[in-house]
Structure 1
Amino acid sequence: MKILILGMGHIGKALAAELSYLGHQVSGTTTTPAKVKDLQALVSEVHVLKGEEKEKVAAAAKDVDAIIVTVAPNVRQTRTPEERELHYRKVLQLSCENAAAACPRVIFLSSFSVYGDGGKGQAPIDESTPTANHEEPSSKYYQAGERAVLASERGCVLRFPDMYGAPGDMDFEQRVKLAIEFFGGKALFSADAPLYAIHFEDVAKSVIHAVNHELCGIYNVCDQNNLPASNQVIFDAICDANGWQRLDFLGQIKAPNRKISAQKIYDTGFAVGHPDPNRHWAAQGAES
């Protein structure tokens, strides 16, 4: 199978290595010309382009059997609603629209943010739960990207929580420090939302699973057997341990307020392999 990976970050590189090992012909994209040489060791061809560049995406996708869209916003370009509006639209919506226009088989790595806070009720949030938070750019443009991909019967959307564990990635302690130093101690998300997180290896594993099993439609991807502690419990524990002032949660980016079900993808034979990375912070928060 000929596969184009739109976005060769950590997830894209992990996918390229595994898909090539499985015998697929893989090409990829980057927005940074300086990265081309290193990426050539992983894929048969590297295209320098942005997902918003329709003609370049179409040219890169010529004759491919599938496109995997792994592009993600740069948090440093999303400090204000106005910045998020512009950046998320370009990175998410336009990338997905252009990928879907170029190939009917697209797998898009989306976000739990499309659920907003999950709405009313106590039942676990699953793929049938209505999307929400239609004005916040993060949620709005992930949803727009999903719609573009799902317009094709062969489209597949994998919804993920925060990703962690990639080489050079910030751990959650460093993320709190960034919020203090770069965002003035403000957290854009909700205090009471469970802090779901998934290791980048499990993300790549789920995408390979979707390719191998020809999954179509929407799938939540997280640890089906764990309900993590809330953002506030985890981040308060991190701040307290480091002697930092606790974060001010603004609630601008709403996140699901209860358990998220991944039963649908678990029923296809997939399971997350890495445990909750913040379980030790949760234990400290429970003791305080």
Structure 2
Amino acid sequence: MKIAIIGGGWVGKRLAKYLTERNHHVIVTTTTPDKITELKTVAAEVHLLDFNEVSETDFLNDAEIAIFSMPISQNSWHQGFESISNVFPKTILFSSTGIYPQQNRIFTENDTDHLRADILNSEMKVLEKYPQTIILRLGGLMGDERSLKNFFNNKKVPHPEKLVNYIHYEDILASIDLLLHSDKPAGIYNFVAPEHPSMGEILNIEDKNTMVQADLSSQRIISSELFVQEFSYTFIRPNPKCF
């Protein structure tokens, strides 16, 4: 299968390696010339593509699937994105659970009030051009060097009682493998690990606020239940304490 990953960032690079190892022909784009050599180790083709400039995109013509991994909260790519004319049978967009407001309750895909405008605008830009897109709203990206221990190395954690909404990149890769072979139509899905320990629990901080089992509805929690039900998905890394 010929797969285009538009945006060879932290997730894009790992996804390219994963798909290449499964004998797909992977095309990766980047806006950074310095990344080309590195990305060539994980993809069959690497191309510079900067939506801020007029870019030739004929190299995408035969791609069966396009996975959009642009910075979802930025609008710098919007105008250039509107000008591309490639047709893709299937498209997937990586969005963010940051779209939901900072309110203490459980959020599902049915919640449409007070969504963060910049992220929603980016989702709409992609859907307007490619209405068949499946949108994955990803939780905080974790795995390898991305860990709370590294983020808070020698730093005080301001709110150790805060429950997390994280996703391990291994589950992102597995979800894409599943979606490649799915005939599901367009849809929006939250994709977050089903367990929500506190930051203090993950970091083994002894704090009276982290020792009590929290009521999930008392904090901001993102639910992935829709994705689990519709795709019969079992998480590889369900608990951020074990990331």
Q: Under a length normalisation based on structure 2, what TM-score does the superposition of the two structures give?
A: 0.76
Alpha-carbon RMSD across the aligned residues, in angstroms, is 3.5
How far apart are 1:29 and its partner, in Å? 1.2
User: Take 1:227 and 1:257, find their aligned partners in 2: how far apart are those partners?
Assistant: 10
User: Take 2:149 and 2:121, find their aligned partners in 1: how far apart are those partners?
Assistant: 32
Alignment of 1:93-172 (within 5 A): 93=78, 97=82, 102-104=86-88, 105-118=90-103, 124-134=106-116, 140-151=117-128, 152-166=130-144, 169-172=145-148
Alignment partner, residue 75 of structure 2: 89
**Structure 1: runs of 5+ lacking an equivalent:** 74-86, 135-139, 241-255, 281-288
* AA at the equivalent of 2:138: F
How far apart are 1:220 and its partner, in Å? 0.8
Native 8 Å contact 2:160 2:205 kept in 1: no
How far apart are 1:45 and its partner, in Å? 1.2
Alignment partner, residue 48 of structure 1: 48
User: Take 2:240 and 2:15, find their aligned partners in 1: how far apart are those partners?
Assistant: 22
How far apart are 1:193 and its partner, in Å? 5.6
User: Take 2:234 and 2:81, find their aligned partners in 1: how far apart are those partners?
Assistant: 26
Q: Under a length normalisation based on structure 1, what TM-score does the superposition of the two structures give?
A: 0.65
**Structure 2: runs of 5+ lacking an equivalent:** 208-217
Local SS of the residue matching 1:205: helix
How far apart are 1:213 and its partner, in Å? 1.2
Give 1 or 2: higher helix fraction: 1
Percent identity, aligned pairs only, is 24
How far apart are 1:157 and its partner, in Å? 0.5
Aligned length: 229
How far apart are 1:173 and its partner, in Å? 2.7
User: Take 1:106 and 1:95, find their aligned partners in 2: how far apart are those partners?
Assistant: 18
Native 8 Å contact 1:5 1:16 kept in 2: yes
Distance 1:239 1:90, change over 3 A: farther
Alignment partner, residue 213 of structure 2: none
1:193-232 residue CA offsets vs partner (Å, 9 max, x unmatched): 63111111111211222222144210111223x2332x6x
How far apart are 1:42 and its partner, in Å? 2.2
Local SS of the residue matching 1:64: coil
Answer yes or no: is 1:263 the counterpart of 2:219. Answer: no
Alignment of 1:220-231 (within 5 A): 220-224=190-194, 226-229=195-198
How far apart are 1:279 and its partner, in Å? 7.2
Alignment partner, residue 39 of structure 2: 39
